[in-house]
C-alpha cells in the first residue's frame, strides 16, 4: 500500500453520500448484474435451482430488513434491486424450495441444502493485539493483519482441502470475506463446516487467557502449522515489532511475557526492560527469544519454552476467524459489490495474487463513483470500479468453465 501519514479510515466516512437516489443510480449504472447472476447460478445459461432457490436479503429504508427474497432469473433480481435500492444485500443458502414461498410451506419442508463455504475475518478481533487503531478504524499499520490472514487461509484451503474456486472480498469497512465456491464446499453440512473451521482455528481463549496457542509436539509438526508459521514469520517483524511496537511500553510487554511459561525469565526480562524501557520492540523481542532459548537449553528443551517464539508469533498474527459465520449453513453474509452503509465504500473482490498490494483506502466510495460518472465526457468511460469488476469477471469465467476435482480430504484432526 502507498505510504501515508497515519491515515485512518473511520467508521462513518462517506455515509452522507448514501441515499435511496444515489444507491439507485449505482445499481442501475454500475452493479455487475450479468456476472453476479452467472456466479450464483453456477452457469452462464438459463437459471438453475442454485439461483432460483437462493435466499437474498435486503436492508432498505433505514433498517427495514427483507429476508427470504428469491428470483426466477437474473433479470428479475436486477429489476427488484434497482427498484428497492437496498442499502445492504446479504446472500444466504440455497433451499429446498424458493425462499419467497417459505411462509406457505409446512414446517420441516423448507430447509437449507447448500451454500458456499464462507469465512469472515474482522479487524476488531485483533483489537487486543493492534496498537494503532481500535473498533471500526483501520490504517496502513494494521491492514497487514488481513494480508497475513488471506495468505494463511487461502493456502490452507487450496493445499490441504484441494479447493480451487475461491473468491476473496473486502468487506467495505474493516475486514475481508472468503467465498469457497467448489461444489464439494457448497455441499458441506453444518458438521462438515465446523470441521473445516476447527481445522483452521488456532487462536483460542478470551482476553483473560494469556496463552492462546497451545500445540502438542505432534500438532506442531502438522504441515498447516509449519506453513502458517512460515507465512506469519515473513510479516512478523515489520507488522508486530515495527508497526505495532508490541513491546514498547510495560503495559504492552506484560501481555506478551504473561504467556511465557517460566516465571524466572518473565521477572528478569520485566526488570531489565523497566530499567531501560526505550529500547525498540525489535531489540526486546530478540532479547526475549535469546533468554528463552538459554533457559530451554538448561532445562533439557522443555517443549513449552522451545516453541515459545513460534507459538507467540502465531498468537499475535494468525487469522482470527468468526467461526459462527462459517459453521452454519443458513448464515447470511454481505454480498460483494454492495455499498457498506458505514463507510460508503464498495465491497470489492480481491484477486488471489493481489493480497500484498490490495489497498482498502483506494477502494472507491459511492460518492466518488457517481462523481466520476457525472463529470466524464465519455458515457462509456470506465470508472475506478472497473478494475474490481474485471477481477470478478475473471473469477466467474473460470468458475463457469471449471470441473470440480474431488481429491481425498485430509484428516481434520491435529
Confidence of residue 256 (pLDDT cuts 50, 70, 90): very high
pLDDT value, residue 2? 47
pLDDT value, residue 6? 54
Which of 94, 3, 15 is closest to 55 using CA atoms? 94
The answer to whether the CB of 54 falls within 8 A of the CB of 42 is no
CA dist 275 and 414 (Å) reads 42
Confidence of residue 8 (pLDDT cuts 50, 70, 90): low
pLDDT, tens digit, for every residue of 196-248? 999 999 998 877 788 899 888 888 999 999 999 999 999 999 999 999 999 99
The residues assigned a catalytic role are 55, 120, 122
| Long-range pairs, 391-396, Cβ under 8 A, ≥24 | 391/348, 391/349, 391/350, 391/351, 391/354, 392/32, 392/35, 392/39, 392/167, 392/336, 392/337, 392/349, 393/32, 393/35, 394/351, 395/39, 395/165, 395/167, 395/349, 395/351, 396/35, 396/38, 396/39
C-alpha cell belonging to residue 355:
493480497
Instruction: Supply the mean pLDDT for the chain.
Output: 91
What is the rounded average pLDDT of the residues 354-376? Answer: 94
Q: Which residues contact 328 (CB under 8 A, 6 or more apart)?
A: 190, 193
The answer to whether the CB of 66 falls within 8 A of the CB of 60 is yes
Three-state DSSP at 402 gives coil
CA dist 124 and 400 (Å) reads 35
What predicted TM-score, i.e. pTM, was given to this entire model?
0.92
The answer to whether the CB of 344 falls within 8 A of the CB of 15 is yes
Q: Which residues contact 214 (CB under 8 A, 6 or more apart)?
A: 204, 311
The percent of residues in the chain predicted with pLDDT above 90, rounded, is: 79
Reply yes or no on whether the pLDDT at 278 is more than 70.
Answer: yes
What is the rounded average pLDDT of the residues 38-65? Answer: 92
What is the rounded average pLDDT of the residues 322-342? Answer: 95
What is the rounded average pLDDT of the residues 279-292? Answer: 95
| Pairing assessment for the beta strands 138-139 and 117-122 based on DSSP bridges | unpaired
What is the rounded average pLDDT of the residues 102-107? Answer: 87
CA dist 131 and 134 (Å) reads 8
Which residue blocks in 30-136 are alpha helix, DSSP H? 33-41, 49-52, 74-84
pLDDT value, residue 412? 44
pLDDT value, residue 379? 65
pLDDT, tens digit, for every residue of 25-45? 999 999 999 999 999 999 878
Which of 50, 91, 51 is closest to 67 using CA atoms? 91
What is the rounded average pLDDT of the residues 301-315? Answer: 82
Which of residues 381 and 163 earns the better pLDDT score?
163
pLDDT, tens digit, for every residue of 123-176? 999 999 999 999 989 999 999 999 999 999 999 999 999 999 999 999 999 999
Reply yes or no on whether the pLDDT at 5 is more than 70.
Answer: no
Amino acid at each position: 500500500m502507498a505510504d501515508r501519514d497515519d491515515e485512518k479510515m473511520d467508521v462513518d466516512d462517506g455515509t452522507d453520500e448514501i441515499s435511496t437516489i444515489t444507491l439507485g443510480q449505482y445499481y442501475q449504472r454500475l452493479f455487475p448484474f450479468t456476472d453476479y447472476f452467472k456466479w450464483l447460478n453456477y452457469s452462464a445459461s438459463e437459471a438453475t435451482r442454485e439461483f432460483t432457490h437462493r435466499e437474498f436479503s435486503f436492508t432498505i429504508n433505514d433498517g427495514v430488513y427483507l429476508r427470504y427474497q428469491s428470483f426466477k432469473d437474473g433479470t428479475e433480481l436486477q429489476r427488484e434491486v434497482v427498484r428497492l435500492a437496498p442499502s445492504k444485500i446479504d446472500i444466504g443458502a440455497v433451499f429446498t424450495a424458493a425462499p419467497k414461498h417459505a411462509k406457505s410451506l409446512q414446517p420441516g419442508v423448507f430447509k437449507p441444502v447448500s451454500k458456499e463455504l464462507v469465512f469472515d475475518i474482522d479487524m476488531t478481533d485483533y483489537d487486543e493485539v493492534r496498537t494503532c487503531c481500535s473498533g471500526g478504524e483501520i490504517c496502513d499499520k494494521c491492514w497487514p493483519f488481513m494480508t497475513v490472514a488471506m495468505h494463511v487461509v487461502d493456502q490452507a484451503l487450496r493445499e490441504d482441502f484441494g479447493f480451487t474456486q475461491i473468491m476473496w472480498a473486502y468487506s467495505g469497512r474493516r475486514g475481508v470475506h472468503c467465498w469457497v465456491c467448489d461444489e464439494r464446499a457448497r455441499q458441506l453440512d453444518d458438521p462438515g463446516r465446523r470441521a473445516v473451521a476447527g481445522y483452521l482455528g488456532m487462536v483460542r481463549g478470551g482476553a483473560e487467557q494469556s496463552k492462546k496457542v497451545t500445540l502438542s509436539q505432534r500438532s506442531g509438526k502438522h504441515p498447516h502449522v509449519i506453513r502458517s508459521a512460515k507465512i506469519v514469520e515473513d510479516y512478523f517483524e515489520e507488522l508486530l515489532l515495527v508497526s505495532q511496537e508490541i513491546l514498547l511500553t510495560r503495559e504492552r510487554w506484560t501481555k506478551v511475557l504473561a504467556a511465557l511459561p517460566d516465571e524466572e525469565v518473565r521477572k528478569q526480562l520485566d526488570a531489565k526492560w523497566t530499567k531501560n524501557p526505550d529500547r525498540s520492540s525489535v531489540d526486546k523481542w530478540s532479547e526475549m527469544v535469546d533468554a528463552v532459548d538459554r533457559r530451554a537449553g538448561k532445562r533439557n528443551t522443555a517443549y513449552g519454552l522451545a516453541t515459545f517464539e513460534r507459538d507467540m508469533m502465531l498468537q499475535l498474527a494468525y487469522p482470527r476467524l468468526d467461526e459462527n459465520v462459517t459453521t452454519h449453513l443458513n448464515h447470511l453474509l454481505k454480498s460483494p459489490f454492495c455499498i457498506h452503509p458505514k463507510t460508503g465504500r464498495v465491497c470489492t473482490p480481491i484477486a488471489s495474487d493481489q493480497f500484498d498490494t490490495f489497498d482498502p483506502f483506494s477502494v472507491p466510495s459511492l460518492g466518488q463513483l457517481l462523481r466520476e460518472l457525472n463529470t466524464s465526457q465519455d458515457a462509456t468511460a470506465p470508472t475506478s470500479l472497473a478494475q474490481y469488476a474485471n477481477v470478478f469477471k475473471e473469477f466467474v469465467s473460470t468458475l463457469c468453465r471449471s470441473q470440480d476435482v474431488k481429491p481425498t480430504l485430509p484428516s481434520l484432526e491435529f
